[in-house]
Amino acid sequence: MSFDDRHLHAPLDPATAERLAAQGLRYALVGDDDAAIDAWSRADLRGFHADAPDPADSLTARRRDWYRRERLTGVWRPGDRLEPVATTSSWLARLTVPGPAELDLWSISSVTVDTTHLGRGYARALLEGELRTAAALGIPAAGLTVSESTLYGRYGFGIAAQAASVEIDTTRVRWAGPEPDLELEFVDVETAAADFERLHAERVAATAGDVSTRPTSWRRITGADDANGAATRKRRFVRALRGDEAVGIVAYTLTESDHDFTHHTLDVEALAAPGRDAAAALWRFVVGQPLVRKVIAGLLALDDPLRWWLGDWRGAIVRVVDHHWLRILDVPAALAARAYAGEGPLGLRVRDSLGFCEGDYLLESDAAGRAAVEAVRALPAGTPTIELDAATLASMWLGAFSPSALAAAGRTDGDGVDAADRLFAVGRAPLLSTWY
């Protein structure tokens, strides 16, 4: 996977710099200096109530390597303090849209403000700066995953993919899924990291809503960067083989019950299986483990086949949450990138308080589902049209929510809802299979 480093060379947003300077604050990028990266990292970890880093821990050095591939931004008070009072990080990734097809995504993370400085507009300044920087580079959309679901709609982000978590009672499982003839084997963490990187990339390429991972992601997620750490030693890796080729892999941990050794909990931390057979083989292995009473897993698509395979629909408790929030910055580029389920025109009248998407747009899809999209001064008479804001457009974009469902919620209006339903229909629910 090639590494696109345009985000590392983009200048700071001048409007944000001016806004913060008026409050006596410094808005800057973190350079290559170890001390500066460590100070930024301390502020970031503090913002998520995590433990302060140990300077002697090898994780601190690895974290520096991760962050050198990202664009680290902060807000500093006057003086010589190294630690910022607010942080963001960003980098370029590739987002899959229905088709499937890919386009550039400005990925945002580490949005924190010190609890001593809340309510002063620092997060707004940083977020708007990220969006303007991405737009200036010609990036058609930005994205993030969130700790709180109430924060980002105000910036035009919408829920573009939901995710399900499951809790399975293994005593109720009566396997009813495929039973493919695949070999399973345990592997070490180095092998697992390489297999996850390849297999996850295959899944991303086929799954709307999913995003390419950073070059270091799977070594960090699996623990390959800390092979002797306690968390890594606790983790198990099993892969499915077709001949000599790995076609799926799962990472999981086991936790012993305090009162009964037959009541272990198995936590599926990651599963990458682009094909149905590999997914079925790995899930059958997971839910059939001896001495396990409960299996928990997250980041499943809303239409994942797992519940059909368990043989008892009520054998799994399912919780659905918002997960992938996207923000369209270039309406013609974003909408033209995806495939459509029909042909015909659709007008979109988009409201955007930040201005990126504000205006009228004409989408014309041909019989093959390819669309041309352009901004227009006035929509042609008789064009079926929907009216919506930027956040709602993002929620409709990949098929997470149908236009008619959004209309029922009062999020869209106009005479084009039925036409939009036909055009934006998708076969499978979008999914982001990781956090970022």
Q: What is the pLDDT of residue 2?
A: 59
pLDDT in tens, 230-286: 999 999 999 999 999 999 999 999 999 999 999 999 999 999 999 999 999 999 999
Give residue 199's domain range: 174-311
Q: By CB neighbour count within 10 A (0-12 exposed, 13-18 middle, 19+ buried), where does 289 fall?
A: middle
Q: What percent of the chain lies above the pLDDT cut of 90?
A: 94
Same domain, 212 and 305: yes
φ, ψ for residue 333, nearest 5 deg: -65, -45
Q: Is residue 403 part of a domain?
A: no
Q: What is the pLDDT of residue 191?
A: 99
Q: What is the pLDDT of residue 422?
A: 98
Q: Is residue 88 part of a domain?
A: yes
316 touches 310 (CB < 8 A):
yes
Helices 14-21 and 122-136, interaxial angle, to 10°?
160
Domain of residue 417, CATH code: 3.30.1050.10
Residue by residue, what is the 3-state secondary structure of 370-428? Answer: CEEEEEECCCCCCCCEEEEEHHHHHHHHCCCCCHHHHHHCCCEECCCHHHHHHHHCCCC
Say whether the peptide bond before residue 78 is cis (omega within 30 degrees of 0): no
Predicted confidence (pLDDT) at residue 1 exceeds the cutoff of 60: no
Q: Is residue 162 part of a domain?
A: no
Same domain, 285 and 191: yes
- pLDDT band at 61, cuts 50/70/90? confident
Question: Which of 311, 342, 362 is the last residue before a domain boundary?
Answer: 311
Q: What percent of the chain lies above the pLDDT cut of 70?
A: 99
Q: What is the pLDDT of residue 250?
A: 99
Q: Give CA–CA dist 434/297, Å, rounded.
A: 12
Give mean pLDDT, residues 398-410.
99
C-alpha closest to that of 425 among 392, 403, 394: 403
Same domain, 116 and 195: no
Give mean pLDDT, residues 61-72.
92
Q: What is the pLDDT of residue 69?
A: 94
pLDDT in tens, 93-142: 999 999 999 999 999 999 999 999 999 999 999 999 999 999 999 999 99
pLDDT in tens, 299-321: 999 999 999 999 999 999 999 99
Same domain, 68 and 193: no
Q: What is the pLDDT of residue 52?
A: 87
- The DSSP secondary-structure symbol of 69 reads T
pTM equals 0.96
Same domain, 354 and 279: no
Same domain, 245 and 344: no
Domain of residue 227, CATH code: 3.40.630.30
Same domain, 75 and 189: no
Same domain, 66 and 189: no
Q: What is the pLDDT of residue 5?
A: 93
pLDDT in tens, 351-391: 999 999 999 999 999 999 999 999 999 999 999 999 999 99
Q: Is residue 400 part of a domain?
A: no
Q: Is residue 205 part of a domain?
A: yes
pLDDT in tens, 68-86: 999 999 999 998 789 999 9
Q: Is residue 100 part of a domain?
A: yes
Number of domains in the chain: 3
Same domain, 302 and 343: no
Same domain, 178 and 135: no
- The per-residue pLDDT of the chain, averaged, comes to 97
326 touches 338 (CB < 8 A):
no
Same domain, 91 and 203: no
- pLDDT band at 63, cuts 50/70/90? confident
Name residue, tokens 């910022």.
84
Give mean pLDDT, residues 204-233.
95
Q: Is residue 365 part of a domain?
A: yes
Give mean pLDDT, residues 12-37.
96
Q: What is the pLDDT of residue 324?
A: 99
Secondary structure class of 345 (helix, strand, coil): strand
Q: Is residue 67 part of a domain?
A: yes
